[in-house]
Amino acid sequence: MKELTHFIGGRHVAGASGRFTEGWQPMTGEQISRVPLASKAEVRAAVENAKAAQPAWAATNPQRRARVLMKFLQLLERDNDKLAEVLAREHGKTIADAKGDIQRGVEVVEFACGIPHLMKGEFTDGAGPNIDVYSLRQPLGVVAGITPFNFPAMIPMWKFAPAIACGNAFVLKPSERDPSVPLMLAELFLEAGLPPGILNVVNGDKEAVDALLDDPDIQAIGFVGSTAIAEYVYARGCATGKRVQCFGGAKNHLVVMPDADMDQTVDALIGAGYGSAGERCMAVSVAVPVGEKTADELMRRLIPRVESLKIGPSTDSSADYGPLVTAQALERVRGYVDLGVKEGATLAVDGRGFKMQGYEKGFYLGGCLFDHVTPDMRLYKEEIFGPVLSVVRAKTYEDALSLCNDHEYGNGVAIFTRDGDAARDFAARVQVGMIGVNVPIPVPIAYYTFGGWKRSAFGDLNQHGPDSIRFYTRTKTVTARWPSGVKDGASFVIPTMG
């Protein structure tokens, strides 16, 4: 059994708190590691290393910083298979899905390589008599990220790549459920030429989170996880004067219009609803067919597709999805299926009895499909984070739109239709941050920003894209006049440029 470490000041550091948690292999249900849980003192050591290293890194010109990111990209490509194998072993997603996780992170690193352009300020020559005005973007200093288990490569890279490119030092607290890939990413960044101390990784639980939130040298913090914890992190971080962005839960709807291409729609729901065992914040968990005829046809097609889903170990290249991340996650999702039955929804496909031959101790759950789900059910209201799709029938387009708008979460949504007017109206009126038109998982490309609305997000700025540069820098504006031999005398009125 492997004992994992922290990564502080460019080297692996054994846990010193005496507290550990177990690391599991979801496909077999076996413990494979012990993960140290950092104390307040260990978090502080990471922050001090970051603080000491950051000024020299900030003074490194943006082009040279970009070259380190470019080398990091080469190393990510070199070790892609190794990273995907480790990610799949710890998380449970298939190798192919693990590679997608890594690739989505790589794309943000590629975006961050444009930092020489992205950090350019503005300049106005002659803004006033012999006066020039210009702005500078400067790094914040030491910043931190708290990232979830479901994307152990992608979301850390979404956080630390733009932050480091801007000249900050970064302290990462990954999920204690699958921390090996974040530790490997830190090693690769060091190999790429990143100075020791610029990227530190501390494993931990609430004690480590609170230490980061309360540390006076942490200038900004980003979080991705459940809404309850997002609210907590946002409130506590803001209370200590930090810049904070937090992304929480989701309940993503896919509206099926009567004119939708039903083959395309069913394919989209199967992939977006059950891929990665539903453990995605952008997973489609609610299908909203408009009209009874549309709903009946959708169910007729969905049932055999869900029944034929292939669940397998992460190493099975033909599997549609693998196990859930932990035994606790499996029991939680099963509990929601039990609850849905009690609430009166129709369980059209029941995956609770699924057992993987040869992997009976693994954390597997077959695909579950509910029909006749209503908005008053907890099954509909709450994020399940598992391979469970709920069908909520809407009488009209306006009813479907209201369902999306009235839900407390506003992360992602999609509409499937051939009608351009309907799609355009939906995109304009739906109260959700990311919208797909005939696209089931509308995760924006790296040079746009990712973020939800309502209780899916807390803070003013989103992840990656231009918002990430704004989040990890502050603007300094300089008004300059050089002596010209003209004596204006003292002025007691507010300056103007007229």
pTM score over 0.85: yes
Tell me what pLDDT residue 244 has: 97
Question: Is 496 a residue whose pLDDT tops 90?
Answer: no
Nearest to 170 by CA among 209, 222, 216: 222
pLDDT band at 276 (very low <50, low <70, confident <90, very high): very high
Cβ pair 114, 120 in contact under 8 A: no
Distance, in Å, from the CA atom of 283 to the CA atom of 279, rounded to the nearest integer, reads 7
The CATH code of the domain that includes 257 is: 3.40.309.10
If you search the block for the tokens 């990143």, which residue do you land on?
Answer: 194
Number of domains present in the structure of the chain: 2
65 plus 192 within the same structural domain: yes
93 plus 161 within the same structural domain: yes
80 plus 46 within the same structural domain: yes
Question: Is 495 a residue whose pLDDT tops 90?
Answer: no
Tell me what pLDDT residue 18 has: 96
In a domain, 448, yes or no: no
Tell me what pLDDT residue 130 has: 86
If you search the block for the tokens 């946002």, which residue do you land on?
Answer: 234
Cβ-Cβ contacts under 8 Å for 38 (sequence gap 6 or more) = 6, 15, 17, 46, 173, 202, 203, 204, 207, 208, 211
pLDDT band at 1 (very low <50, low <70, confident <90, very high): confident
Distance, in Å, from the CA atom of 46 to the CA atom of 199, rounded to the nearest integer, reads 9
In a domain, 445, yes or no: no
The CATH code of the domain that includes 147 is: 3.40.605.10
pLDDT band at 494 (very low <50, low <70, confident <90, very high): confident
Of residues 130 and 116, more confidently modeled:
116
Tell me what pLDDT residue 493 has: 75
DSSP label at residue 73? H
pLDDT band at 128 (very low <50, low <70, confident <90, very high): confident
Q: Based on the residue annotation, tell me whether 246 is a catalytic residue of this protein.
A: no
- Phi, psi (degrees; rounded to nearest 5) at 374: -120, 155
DSSP label at residue 276? G
Angle at 360 between CA 359 and CA 362, to 5 degrees: 65
In a domain, 193, yes or no: yes
Q: What is the mean pLDDT of the chain?
A: 96
Chain segment 44-66, per-residue pLDDT in tens: 999 999 999 999 999 999 999 99
What is the mean predicted confidence (pLDDT) over 406-418? 97
Instruction: Spot the catalytic one: 166, 281, 368, 404.
Output: 281
Range of the domain at 212: 2-248+456-478
In a domain, 486, yes or no: no
